[in-house]
Amino acid sequence: MRIAGQVSINDLPRICPTLHRQTNPQYGDHQTRVVEVRGVRFGGERPVVIAGPCAVESHEQTVGIAHAVRRAGGDMLRGGAYKPRTSPHDFQGSGLEGLCILSVARQETGLPVVTEVMDPRMVSEVARVADMLQVGSRNMQNYPLLAEVGRTRKPVLLKRGMAASLCEWLGAAEYIAKQGNLEIVLCERGIKGFPSGEYSRYVLDLNVIPAVQMLTYLPVIVDPSHATGVAAMVEPASRAAVEMGSHGLIIEIADFSRGLPRCDADQAIDAETLGRIVRFARAHQVSPEEKVHAA
């Protein structure tokens, strides 16, 4: 039986010819194309650790957390100025003011900033501040948005749609690449499965990491915060992701002495836990030679 729209990984050289290993033999079977964000190297010698608040709430909150990320040894700052929320009545982020706060946080700490853009009309505005543009799970198949971030030359963090297959995810990445922007880092952030919501937020699909690495030369990182939704699971999930070959982590942290964060409080870890995760990730440095042998 033939079914319209049905694809398998065998169709990937046609779906994403710009990104597939088979159509880009210069990367061989194992080489990763390093994506550099102001000196931070995704797919380089060691896993990258990005950390910060779920949402940019205030100057004091975000700048304070940025300093904590720096002290813990994190490589980059995350934080949403524009938040995709389930209800339109929930806090939607602090918008343009949030972008200014991120820019101050970068100035004070030197940490490059990744932040989400949800609307194609906002790409140039967000790109003025962001060192890396985040396309969130809910927007993974927003093709005009993907094309627009592709037209910038900014690195893009493309999160996996929560119900997206690997083919759909790589097809989405191809929309960015087709515009001439190869500065793409993929991010597994948990998918919907029958246990999701019962004991964790989503199902963390670590098995997809080696699959991504087999099929494409793009770096791939893991978000253990949104994948689990449970603070106590974030550290072990981070270690597991690194063991599975993830090129990095993106983690939500909070300063609980200031009260609870306005979004995703139950998955936020403290700076001390982040420090342990960073030390674990640092211990997984791989020299280029080892990378070739290990792969």
In this chain, which residue has its C-beta nearest to ligand PEP? 136
Question: Which of ligand PEP, Mn ion, none is residue 40 near (CB under 5 to 8 Å by kind)?
Answer: none
Count of chain residues binding ligand PEP (CB under 6 A) = 11
From the CB of 293, what's the least distance to ligand PEP, in Å? 33
Question: Which of Mn ion, ligand PEP, none is residue 148 near (CB under 5 to 8 Å by kind)?
Answer: none
Instruction: Kindly tell me which residue out of 57, 226, 231, 247 binds ligand PEP, with binding defined by CB under 6 A.
Output: 226
Token look-up 């493309």 returns 158
**Residue type (1 letter), 149:** V
Question: CA 241, 246, 247, 253 torsion: positive or negative?
Answer: negative
Is 201 a binder of ligand PEP (CB under 6 A)?
A: no
First and final C-alpha spacing in the chain: 38
**Per-residue contact track with ligand PEP, 84 to 103, x per CB under 6 A?**
x-------------------
Is 159 a binder of ligand PEP (CB under 6 A)?
A: yes
CB 136 within 8 A of CB 164: no
Is 261 a binder of ligand PEP (CB under 6 A)?
A: no
How much of the chain is in helix, strand and coil states, percent to nearest 5? 40, 15, 40
Binding residues for Mn ion, per CB under 5 A?
Answer: 54, 264
CB 265 within 8 A of CB 229: no
From the CB of 29, what's the least distance to ligand PEP, in Å? 29
Instruction: Kindly tell me which residue out of 154, 189, 201, 247 binds ligand PEP, with binding defined by CB under 6 A.
Output: 189
Q: For residue 211, what are the contacts with CB-CB under 8 A and spacing of at least 6?
A: 9, 166
Residue 113, number of CB atoms within 10 A of its CB: 26
Nearer residue to ligand PEP within complex by CB, 154 or 159: 159
Is 161 a binder of ligand PEP (CB under 6 A)?
A: no
CB 80 within 8 A of CB 116: yes
Q: Which H or E element spans position 35?
A: strand 35-37
**Per-residue contact track with ligand PEP, 104 to 143, x per CB under 6 A?**
------------x-------------------xxx-----
From the CB of 137, what's the least distance to ligand PEP, in Å? 4
Token look-up 């098995």 returns 207
Question: Which of Mn ion, ligand PEP, none is residue 84 near (CB under 5 to 8 Å by kind)?
Answer: ligand PEP
Interface with ligand PEP in residues 26-55 (CB under 6 A): 54
Nearer residue to ligand PEP within complex by CB, 44 or 161: 161
Q: For residue 190, what are the contacts with CB-CB under 8 A and spacing of at least 6?
A: 162, 196, 200, 201, 202, 203, 204, 205, 223, 226, 227, 228
